[in-house]
Amino acid sequence: MEKVVVSLLLSVFLGFVLLFVGLFLGVCFFVGREKSSPFECGFDPIGSSRVPFSLRFFLLAVIFVVFDVEIVLLFPAVMVVGSSWVWVGGYVMLLVFLVLLFVGVIHEWREGSLEWES
C-alpha cells in the first residue's frame, strides 16, 4: 500500500513539474508583424491567409467524424455476433447502440444538418 501512495504522489508531482515547465517555456514574449504574417518563401503575400470557411461544411465534417467513430465501434460487435459466448446483454447493448445511432441520423436529417444547401 505504501508503494502505491508513493508512486501516486510521485506521478502527481512529476505531472505538475512538467505542466509548469511547459507553461514557463511556452510563453510567447514577442509578437510582431512578421510573426503574425504568413510565410510565402520570401515573396510578398498575395492575399489574406485568414480565409473564411463554410460553417455548414464544419458542421457536416463534425457529424461525419462522430458517425464514423460510431461505425468503427460497430466492427468488433459484428465480429462477435456469431460467437457462442456472447450473452443476451451484449445483444441488448448492441441493439440500444444501433437504435441510438439511427435516432441520431434521423435527428440530423430532420434538423437539416445533412443538407449541403439550405
Per domain, the residue ranges of the chain are 55-111
Confidence (pLDDT) at 48: 67
Q: For the full predicted model, state whether its pTM sits above 0.75.
A: no
Residues 6+ apart with CB under 8 A from 114: 60, 63, 108
Q: Is 82 helix (H, G, I), strand (E, B) or coil?
A: coil
pLDDT tens track for 23-80: 888 876 677 776 666 666 767 667 666 677 788 888 889 999 988 988 888 888 877 7
